[in-house]
Amino acid sequence: MATTAPTTHAALLRWVDETAKLTKPDRIVWLDGSEAERKRLTEEAVAAKVLIPLDQKKWPGCYYHHSNPNDVARVEHLTVICTPTREEAGPTNNWMAPADAYAKLGAIYDGCMKGRTMYVVPYIMGPPTSPFSKVGIEVTDSVYVALNMIIMARVGTVALERLGQDGEFNKGLHAVADCSPDRRWICHFPQDNTIWSVGSGYGGNALLGKKCLALRIGSYLAKNEGWLAEHMLILEAESPTGEVSYVAAAFPSACGKTNFAMMIPPKTFDGWKIRTVGDDIAWMRVGENGQLWAVNPENGYFGVAPGTNRKTNPNAMDSVRKDSLFTNVARTAGGDIWWEGWDTEAPAELIDWKGAAWKKGSTEKAAHPNSRFTAPASNNPAISSKVNDPAGVPISAIIFGGRRSTTVPLVLEAFNWTHGVFMGATMGSETTAAAVGLKEGVRRDPMAMLPFIGYDAGTYLQHWLDMQGRIPNPPKVYMVNWFRKDGNGKFMWPGYGDNMRVLKWILDRAHGRVTAKETLVGNVPRPEDINLSGVDLTPEAARKVMDVDLAEWETELESQQEWFEKLGKTLPRPIALQRDILLERVRSARKQG
């Protein structure tokens, strides 16, 4: 931690100087990423009541943070792509002209750090020596953000060393400022490799390496440089014979992504081991053997707490055991924590996420539904040994998943790359009436990237199609659905560890070990090829969860028209044609009865 700049990188020094002239902090502190620094910043945060220590015997190195109650989630309506033209941002993003955005936010930043410290956080997304990795500098007025960045990225001297005298870096300016929802903006300037975020201290808005750099700016860089920046977990699967494979999987939020990345296979799959490479983001490039190779640019987990327990995700529970931060969960006066979906019932009394007294039986939630843990990836007992490998890991299969109560079978294999891109482009997830601000029904969420594509969505799909020409040995592509319901509205598939059964079939296919049954909309497992021994499922339910119902598919394909119209004129023709072909085939099969 230094108050004089530990670098001679002229452009960096100039930018930090300009930023300080605008925001006018009392003090500038450069982070070095040392353990002593983490300790000192934590003490400062505790003294300022930004962090509350938990019981250090039970939760060593763990601290609690209440956010401003008006600032608890990503704000898609205030997230903006600032490209020279509106067309470059496309129909799925908010847009502002760069000059207007710089002027609007500049006025909010002006003097907003008076009386405060400006932390300069140099960081690397990706393993320090990897050709995949990118350097960012986040300037922030929040010690909480600085401490989260220390967990989520590789921070300090390591990043300045990689940058050298003249390396390229992302310029990230963040200020919580007065945390006013009226002066809250998350703006991205892809052409300037710049992010300006103001008015929020919440993770996805404020930890600029994550959604802002690794996905929005990342996807723009990836298109220009010929790679993929995706909202995907990366997992490692080791078979009983010691064969190690990797898959990348995209799921919209609330579909069990972290749980899948940290899955524990059922007892009947003894001998299979799942290890985590990443739980949220994958950067993928063509590498050795013409395969797609992936790295996880992050170094920690920023996970949703409610619903996480020793049964649903023991590895996540072990990951948060030490050196973790908890935001907006419930706590006890004695420094313990609790959230809805914890292993045990709530204690009689808690302090809720807003800091108010809470009594068991209250109709209010004790933890905010989007309360989070920030945990170092190195705490995960099932972390892959390849997580820091500069080459990344070779991807055998890409999986797209959503929450669909009908239509989408447990698993469907794409016929080819274009069909796989079509599957990703049309993937959707059901919202419920309870989810504020979202229309009930299926929200289309291409590759689970809807809020994260940093440019025009149709052009993004074209980039996916173009990648086929770059990948001599591409992964197979799948669609999965753990959430299909029976006639009584009950989930048919047990999910969690039993998803291993589906993953095993996917790997057997990817390695060419089993055949599949072709349906009009994709390939499905033959009953004998998917191991259901020991799973709580009647043969009839097993058939139904994997069934391709053509009447449902006709409705599904028809309903995609509205989405395609929204994407507009840049929707790639091969994607539109995929739908036409599938719909034609389904209609004619239905006519023939």
Q: Which residues bind ligand OXD (CB under 6 A)?
A: 74, 204, 253, 280, 302
Distance in Å, CB of 204 to ligand OXD, minimum: 5
Residue 228 or 414: which CB sits closer to ligand OXD?
A: 228
Which part of the chain contacts Mn ion (CB under 5 A), choosing from 75-83, 276-284, 309-317, 488-496?
276-284
Residue from 71, 230, 236, 280 binding Mn ion (CB under 5 A): 280
Asked whether 545 and 410 are in contact (CB, 8 A), the reply is yes
What distances in angstroms separate CA 459 from CA 200, 212, 397, 448, one per listed residue? 30, 19, 23, 16
Q: For residue 235, what are the β-bridge partners? A: 247, 276
Name the nearest CA neighbour of 262 among 308, 338, 197, 314. 314
Sheet harboring 357-359: ordered strands across? Answer: 337-338, 330-331, 349-351, 357-359
The C-alpha atoms of residue 210 and residue 125 are separated, in whole angstroms, by: 8
Distance in Å, CB of 377 to ligand OXD, minimum: 14
Distance in Å, CB of 280 to Mn ion, minimum: 4
The C-alpha atoms of residue 86 and residue 555 are separated, in whole angstroms, by: 33
Check residue 114 and report its DSSP letter: T
Considering only residues 317 to 336 of the shown chain, the ones binding Mn ion according to CB under 5 A are none
Residue 369 or 474: which CB sits closer to ligand OXD?
A: 369
Residue 302 or 417: which CB sits closer to ligand OXD?
A: 302
Check residue 497 and report its DSSP letter: G
Check residue 66 and report its DSSP letter: P
**Under rule CB under 5 A, residue 279 binds Mn ion:** no
Judged by beta carbon distances under 5 to 8 A according to partner kind, the member of Mn ion, ligand OXD, none in contact with residue 156 is: none
Burial of 1 (0-12, 13-18, 19+ CB in 10 A): middle
Distance in Å, CB of 379 to Mn ion, minimum: 19
Cβ atoms < 10 Å from Cβ of 488 = 5
Residue 300 or 497: which CB sits closer to ligand OXD?
A: 300
Site string for Mn ion, 449-478 (x = CB under 5 A): ------------------------------
Judged by beta carbon distances under 5 to 8 A according to partner kind, the member of Mn ion, ligand OXD, none in contact with residue 74 is: ligand OXD
Q: Which amino acid is at 354?
A: K
Judged by beta carbon distances under 5 to 8 A according to partner kind, the member of Mn ion, ligand OXD, none in contact with residue 570 is: none
Residue 172 or 278: which CB sits closer to Mn ion?
A: 278
What count of residues does the chain have?
593
What distances in angstroms separate CA 342 from CA 305, 314, 350, 366, one per listed residue? 9, 12, 13, 11
Q: Which amino acid is at 87?
A: E
Cα pseudo-dihedral 495, 499, 500, 501, rounded to 10: 100
Which part of the chain contacts Mn ion (CB under 5 A), choosing from 6-14, 279-287, 305-313, 386-394?
279-287
Check residue 355 and report its DSSP letter: S
Distance in Å, CB of 483 to ligand OXD, minimum: 18
Distance in Å, CB of 372 to ligand OXD, minimum: 8
The C-alpha atoms of residue 373 and residue 200 are separated, in whole angstroms, by: 18
Q: Is 255 an annotated catalytic residue?
A: yes
Among candidate residues 62, 82, 212, 255, the one labeled active-site is: 255
Asked whether 484 and 408 are in contact (CB, 8 A), the reply is yes
Residue 33 or 218: which CB sits closer to Mn ion?
A: 218
Residue 74 or 183: which CB sits closer to ligand OXD?
A: 74
Distance in Å, CB of 399 to Mn ion, minimum: 15
Which residues of the shown chain bind Mn ion in the complex (CB under 5 A)?
280
Q: What are the residue numbers of the active site?
A: 255
